[in-house]
Structure 1
């Protein structure tokens, strides 16, 4: 993975701990609404809510260690999060002032002040990154049988604790240098006052297209460079009492975003609508109204920003500049409001009675002015430079690849996931799946294979090709749900990828369904289990296809019929076979075995190979699978059963791989 791709990975992992902030904002915001003058001193309920929210804010370093470790782990497993917690405790304890004095044999008073600040978000992020790398490397390691209990994921916290000892010794040397550098950077920006806040906001918007704004935000919103803007603001009265917050100053890296997100961008949306061609106004209106409402109410701006980001780059540069100006003005005037999620109406209302909020209502007046500024400047620029904003695209025969997202052709997450999977070139082109608030972040083998027009037909606002191996698809707040559905498809538990895999592995047209019944032999020696009893709802409900399952007792997996292996998943836990009569077959070993990362499986045939019934395809380590898999029950299904008359003559009892007839696929 290149540097940009790795930074992307860290950036999206940061969203896991940041996602806890809305909870703190809601709890503390309601508390301050109940008791706006006593800040919990006059109301037990307010004190209860404010304290509950503060519990999140006060433990942000730990949340970063746990969240980043989880977010960067290859299979998003809780074991990585636990290891992150272990690593953070070991590192911060060894680097505490008392431990440093004892280990180095010096007077506690001589310990550098930096070690008094070791419990911070930067160290949490560092711990999370290191832990995730250890998890990805050691989570599937098998130890000697005498130590088998500590194999796999149980090994990771042990390895992490030992590695953190060495990291702690390194930190004893380099942490004072890093800390002083970060403090100097923070003091430099803070020393620039309101101008520094404006510069930050300008680059915040410029980094949106590549998703690196999250990394920049961690510097200005959290205690990475001595600023800690959001936690101190949400901390309200407590932050003031502890001297961590300054009235009129804390929140200046946040407040100026409210006029942009609530008013400026909706003004831009109105300008884009008025500039659209008459024939396209209805379509553009539906897009702009939905995007503008999302920006105003929740502060989610990416659907609107991506509608003009690439088709009209000068407008986006203007937008970034105006954002910087807005943040500068709000900071200069000390009009302050803060947010836990984004600068929308919800966060403005919640923060309005925070003790640190100051003349927050002036941000509304500023917003009205920026609505006019955005409308006038965008409308003038679109006309003067003939920018191809939504609704102004050149008419093309056969489609509109540059047009903004049309209404989605499907609304349920499973259908969208299958559609986006095909749009990026299928499983064969997919390396990794992740998501943040509004975008799918995908690792691919070749970004040139991604069909942007197809993605937009599914409802995407835009497609960002960062490089050959990294692509982002902007789809709105459903991104995480769609990503989860795509992970299921990538794992081989849905029928849609079979056709895509067939198209990749065999570009020629698939054979038509032939006349006559097709008899499948059992691919595994074992005991037959009805499909309804498979401990996976996708298979048990027959949503994936029709067939039967086998509980393996033998280690060899063979082809159930003659045909072409169109897909063997990277983890070797499943394969798809296109039979000579057009039947699409899936042999899936165990349940949720994709998480084993290939452990317990040995590939004996290659993708694209021609096989006959009974030819070996996989070899299993049954002892390992029975110990580590959720279940070894293995479905053998026909995913396109609707093209046939159904399944009949299903075997019962014990079956032998390559010999026993498993079931018959009846021709129509």
Structure 2
């Protein structure tokens, strides 16, 4: 009886504390600008997962199909194996269509992801918004031509004038005569993201708008496409005015960085990117950085055939390192290749180091979990379960991890290893990309020995040794409380320990149901505003992210948590996070 009364008093006190915190926030003028920014960035990072999720399988289809087409056709395109060609064609085209329409997928996916009720209408609005701004900016004779047609000009052999901001020169066979120009201005994936953000904002704001009776048919959600078309026009003007200058600079940067023979730019450029990529990971903001380099950065070159390395005549601009590698563009893959040693060797070695550094009585328990996620990292390139097991415990380990990532990215770039992925730098993508990478190394029929993708396997082994030694030494020296070194046991023993204290239900039945209930209890149902998830973590918006039981969340099986501002909370669950999120939504009606 006394325990029941005490529990009731504790719950009442917790609610009073939460109410006081909310009241104080209201009195001080509401949520701070910084918190709003962090919340919005978290939402954007989550929304970007929608279009990115279609890439892995599409990349596999595209790669294997393209390889089949290469072996069933001659250099001039003649089919030499009818059955093999058409099978390869059927495999390749569904994958290629995803990459060919990636910007549109981002417009649709971001709009849907940011809409509060995730209804299909907003996806339609996102597509309409994107089509409008691209029609006004991304074709010859559109707004940029009107504004910049006589800026930074060059003239072709016919005397026609073009702007270098929006066109590139087409040379005759002599390499000097300008026989024309190609319009290259493209808002690309950035345009898709902007279209999706604006569409979601307009949808959330006007989906319940009420108009006069005579116009009531056009009220509510029917009003959103109309206002979106209106807003798309000034948005297109903004792109037409600002984006040509940005793309002009990006094309110069992309040309320099994507040239493996220009180490003064390529090596530090890719290395700094790798460091920032790992440092931003705990905040969930690395996807925003990845989106630029993987899908927006302009890369120019000829198409290089897989295996043979034959270079096709002519060049083309492609936005994004992933897209360029998928098409076989010279100089692509540098922003991806260096991640393979990290994710196939370095990160699995971190897990092994933590196993060896664990207390003897806990080593068997952590070996099951850490060994499993190490294998996942090796095969698929999904590294977050391992990285989150130390990122929030020790900033030192995170910094070391980021610096080592930058070093191995620099080594890979210096060796001119070009290899890409569709999802992440795991063994599956390595095998799928090997033929194209071999073609780059064999470009023009002359193998560049250091660029041979087989070196990636040696770098992977080297990365494993360096990461293992670094992490094992630091964990032991600094007595860092990585999994297995803390006093609280893990997995089933954690659940048993909690149950013995009466803190939760007996761990029988649906583990996702149990985890969801424990997390809700630790946070407080009344504290939850919204529930969402990305690939590996819950993304929550709370009334107050300080009024939670952090120990109980971690003991539920979560790998860690991260607060962003005063409202956003990320809880790292793993690749099965969606099941936990679905149960939480059902239990809370959020």
TM-score (ref. length: structure 1): 0.66
Q: Which residue of 2 aligns with 1:19?
A: 53
Shift of 1:370: 1.3
More strand by share: 1
**Whole-angstrom distance in 2 between the partners of 1:430 and 1:232:** 52
Aligned residues, how many? 483
Q: Summarize deviations over 1:538-571 as a string: whole Å, max 9, x none.
A: xxxxxxxxxxxxxxxxxxxxxxxxxxxxxxxxxx
Structure 1 window deviating more from structure 2 (109-118 vs 200-209): it is 109-118
Q: Which residue of 2 aligns with 1:165?
A: 233
**Whole-angstrom distance in 2 between the partners of 1:241 and 1:179:** 21
Q: Summarize deviations over 1:311-367 as a string: whole Å, max 9, x none.
A: 232122111111111211112112232111111122112222236564322211211
1:124 lines up with 2:169 in the alignment:
no
Q: Which residue of 2 aligns with 1:475?
A: 573
Q: Which residue of 1 aligns with 2:535?
A: 437
Asked whether the 8 Å contact 1:442–1:472 carries over to 2, the reply is yes
**Whole-angstrom distance in 2 between the partners of 1:328 and 1:179:** 25
1:202 lines up with 2:275 in the alignment:
yes
1:89 lines up with 2:135 in the alignment:
no
Asked whether the 8 Å contact 1:32–1:354 carries over to 2, the reply is no
Q: Which residue of 2 aligns with 1:67?
A: 109
1:457 to 555, 578, 582: 555
Q: Which residue of 2 aligns with 1:99?
A: 142
1:56 to 64, 87, 98: 98
Asked whether the 8 Å contact 1:13–1:72 carries over to 2, the reply is yes
Asked whether the 8 Å contact 2:256–2:266 carries over to 1, the reply is no
Residues 240, 418 of structure 1: CA spacing in aligned structure 2 closer, same or farther, 3 A cutoff? farther
TM-score (ref. length: structure 2): 0.74
Residues 44, 420 of structure 1: CA spacing in aligned structure 2 closer, same or farther, 3 A cutoff? same
Asked whether the 8 Å contact 2:185–2:244 carries over to 1, the reply is no
Q: Which residue of 2 aligns with 1:634?
A: none
**Whole-angstrom distance in 2 between the partners of 1:185 and 1:33:** 30
Q: Secondary structure at the match of 1:455?
A: helix
1:296 lines up with 2:378 in the alignment:
yes
Superposed structure 1 runs of 4+ greater than 6 Å apart: 101-108, 231-234, 236-241, 407-410
Structure 1 residue runs of 5 or longer lacking an equivalent are: 493-668
**Whole-angstrom distance in 1 between the partners of 2:424 and 2:363:** 29
2:245 to 151, 156, 177: 177
Residues 117, 204 of structure 1: CA spacing in aligned structure 2 closer, same or farther, 3 A cutoff? same
2:166 to 92, 97, 113: 113
Q: Summarize deviations over 1:118-173 as a string: whole Å, max 9, x none.
A: 34111111111111111110112122333333222222111101111222233333
- How do residues 245-644 of structure 1 correspond to structure 2 at under 5 angstroms? 245=324, 249-354=331-436, 358=441, 359-393=452-486, 411-426=510-525, 428-491=526-589
**Whole-angstrom distance in 2 between the partners of 1:20 and 1:360:** 26
More helix by share: 2
Shift of 1:232: 11
Q: Secondary structure at the match of 1:194?
A: helix
Shift of 1:462: 0.8
Q: Summarize deviations over 1:481-534 as a string: whole Å, max 9, x none.
A: 332333333327xxxxxxxxxxxxxxxxxxxxxxxxxxxxxxxxxxxxxxxxxx
Shift of 1:215: 0.7
Q: State which structure, 1 or 2, has the greater radius of gyration over its C-alpha atoms.
A: 1
Aligned CA-pair RMSD:
3.4
Shift of 1:411: 4.2
Residues 457, 55 of structure 1: CA spacing in aligned structure 2 closer, same or farther, 3 A cutoff? same
Shift of 1:387: 2.0
Q: Which residue of 2 aligns with 1:215?
A: 288
**Higher RCO (C-alpha 8 Å, min separation 6):** 2
